[in-house]
Amino acid sequence: MSEDVEMNFAGMFDRTIKPYIVILTLIFAASFLAGTMAPSTIRQQMGEVFQVVVGNYRGLAGGMLFFNILVQNVMATIFVVISGTIVGIVPTFAISSNAFGLGVLYRQASEVSGYSKAAIEVLPYGVFEIPALLIAASYGLWLGVMVVRRMRGEGSTLLRFHIEHAFRRYFAVVFPLLIVAAAIETTLILWLP
């Protein structure tokens, strides 16, 4: 493994994805801001979709609810990592669409209960899930760049080794974050009216 795979940020991710984390965090921030400024019709539609999604989970018991949320998040983030090999389009879209949706939900909640209470309501959904998605998408984007370099003849490492590295980091960092995120979401869904 190359020197680029040196660990940093307390082991959260390695140096290979540092520039991709920065890029995707900026995209996330811009998309979140765009979501907060979306027209009321779009905000209303997104709010309705969110209520339908949450409504689908409400009838489930605690353990089944936790399992369904975890499986859905794991499948989505694994797809984001693997799809990165297609020049990184899907990871970038996943970040921007999730951030836009979160921005819309934050704006909707702030109009009902004020900005600080809205932050408290929306924040738990993103404390663990958003970092997990950002890291997964960063590995996906990194894999996309590795594919492009390989196609240009710039890389000598087999893509398989890059994919294996991405998934080792996925199960070491992203998967534990998703477990905690699913536990938080389960608690919120069960306790919210």
Task: Report the alpha-carbon distance of residue 75 to residue 79 in Å, rounded.
Answer: 6
- pTM equals 0.83
Give the type of residue at 39. P
Interatomic CA distance for residues 8 and 35, integer angstroms: 32
pLDDT tens-digit profile of 58-90? 677 778 888 988 999 999 999 999 988 886 788
| Closest to 139 measured CA to CA, from 1, 10, 24, 8 | 24
Q: What is the DSSP track for 99-126?
A: HHHHHHHHHHHHHHH-HHHHHHHHHHHH
Task: Classify residue 42 as left (phi > 0), alpha (psi -120 to 50) or beta.
Answer: alpha
For residue 64, the one-letter residue type is M
Give the CA distances from residue 13 to residues 7, 25, 34, in Å, rounded to whole numbers and listed in that order.
6, 14, 28
Computed over every residue of the chain, the mean pLDDT equals 83
pLDDT tens sequence across 121-180: 777 777 888 999 999 999 999 998 888 888 888 877 778 888 899 999 999 999 999 999
Residue 55 tokens read as 């409504």
- 182 CB-side CA count, 13 A: 20
- What span, in angstroms and rounded, lies between the C-alpha atoms of 76 and 99? 15
Q: Which two three-digit tokens encode residue 149?
A: 């370099």
